[in-house]
Structure 1
Amino acid sequence: MQCYSFIKTMMILFNFLIFLCGVALLAVGIWVSVDGPSFLKIFGPLSSSAMQFVNVGYFLIAAGAVLFALGFLGCYGAHTENKCALMMFFFILLIIFIAEVAAAVVALVYTSVAEHYLTLLAVQTIKKRAEDKPVQGCFKQLLSDIRTNAITVGGVAAGIGGLELAAMIVSMYLYCNLK
């Protein structure tokens, strides 16, 4: 029974952190969407490059809302031992996990297709424009940078997926051990 109470406590703590992150993302997203210019004043001379962050406000609101709901369901379900909340928590995580796996598969499948089209279009365009003067292309460096970042993004996504699987397992453990 001590294992159950430890897992329940950890579920409450981690989901409370997720809940707080959701609140923070919602707050920043609303701030950026409603009052972008004051948000940009913080950056001062960097405001031209920071302008792209203003366009991310709605994404932050959506991500914050999902984290807010997910954190609330996990925390509430574990604290009150509510089977419905734990099951909702599990299903929301499952949907997010399936969407992430689908996105990863699409990215892997279309990476070679995108590389092929870039080779056909970009290299041919550079060659046509370079008929007066020789141009040193950067296509190989671009592909190298994309591959390097893809490995990092893939590693982070795999880590997040592992955490999501662990959270789903814990929620099902709590669900199954409730009376």
Structure 2
Amino acid sequence: MAQNCLKCLKYTMCVVNFVCFICGTAGFGFGVFMMMNSKVSSLIPSLSSMNIANMLFIIGIIMTCVSFLGFLGALKENRCLLVTFFILLFILILVELTAAFLLLLYESKIGSFLQRDLTDSLEKSRESAKGGNSTMSTGDWDIIQTTGCYNKLKAWFEENFLATGVAVIVLCVIEVLGMCFSVTLFCHISQSGLSYK
């Protein structure tokens, strides 16, 4: 009975990590595609490196590497890979919880920073347009201003705050389950006397 449960645990871990690997690869590929085809500069100069393409690229790489370790560690029953998978998931959870805590703690400061940076970016775009050196056309800024980008973005976050919180909690639960599964498999391998492969 215990052997059947462990086999079920092993293959569940393999399937979940394989799905995460595919999603990470897709995110990585889409991020590269957006980097190659994006012609519009960032609206927020201070956070120019944190655009959607770069974030997809980085998240895709992290998901691909971590899920590959989990998949291979579970499939091959390799203790070293399972421990590495556990440590990486633990670090990811710490980073996510720290980022969430800092966002909640400095919410008002982040909002005023974004508003100030958007205004500075608009002024620089106007000055560049007068000199003919703008990488972003004034038409792009006109479109952005008629949607009221800052206010719309703020309202969207406020409306979807609960959904975002639930998504973060679900992600953390999945990561904790992955850690529990890897520890359980590690203990089973150690008790069975199986050596490193």
User: Normalised by the size of structure 1, how large is the TM-score?
Assistant: 0.69
Residue from 184, 188, 194 that aligns with 1:177: 188
Query: What's 2:139 paired with?
Result: none
Give the partner amino acid of 2:61.
A
Residue from 61, 66, 70 that aligns with 1:70: 66
| Percentage identity across paired residues of the two chains | 28
Query: What's 1:27 paired with?
Result: 29
- Partners of 1:96 and 1:102 lie apart in 2 by 10
Q: CA RMSD for the aligned pairs?
A: 2.8
- Partners of 1:143 and 1:59 lie apart in 2 by 20
- Between 1:142-151 and 1:3-12, the stretch displaced more is 142-151
1:54-69 correspondence to structure 2 within 5 Å: 55-69=51-65
Query: What's 1:8 paired with?
Result: 10
Query: What's 1:163 paired with?
Result: 174
Quickly say closer, same or farther: Cα 1:116–1:104, change in 2 above 3 A: closer
- Partners of 1:144 and 1:36 lie apart in 2 by 26
Give the partner amino acid of 1:77.
G
Task: Note the alpha carbon deviations across 1:77-98, whole angstroms, 9 max, x for none.
Answer: 0000011111111111111100
How much does 1:22 deviate? 1.3
Task: Note the alpha carbon deviations across 1:16-46, whole angstroms, 9 max, x for none.
Answer: 1111111111111111112336xx9xxxxxx
Task: Note the alpha carbon deviations across 1:109-153, whole angstroms, 9 max, x for none.
Answer: 223x549979xx9xxxxxxxxxxxxxxxxxxx9977644322221
Give the partner amino acid of 2:188.
N
Give the partner amino acid of 1:93.
L
User: Normalised by the size of structure 2, how large is the TM-score?
Assistant: 0.64
- Partners of 1:142 and 1:33 lie apart in 2 by 23
- Partners of 1:116 and 1:34 lie apart in 2 by 30
Structure 1: gaps (5+ residues): 41-54, 122-140
Query: What's 1:18 paired with?
Result: 20
Residue from 150, 155, 168 that aligns with 2:161: 150
Quickly say closer, same or farther: Cα 1:66–1:144, change in 2 above 3 A: closer
- Partners of 2:57 and 2:153 lie apart in 1 by 32
1:13-162 correspondence to structure 2 within 5 Å: 13-36=15-38, 55-111=51-107, 113-114=108-109, 146-162=157-173
Higher helix share: 1
Structure 2: gaps (5+ residues): 41-50, 117-151, 193-197
Give the partner amino acid of 1:24.
A
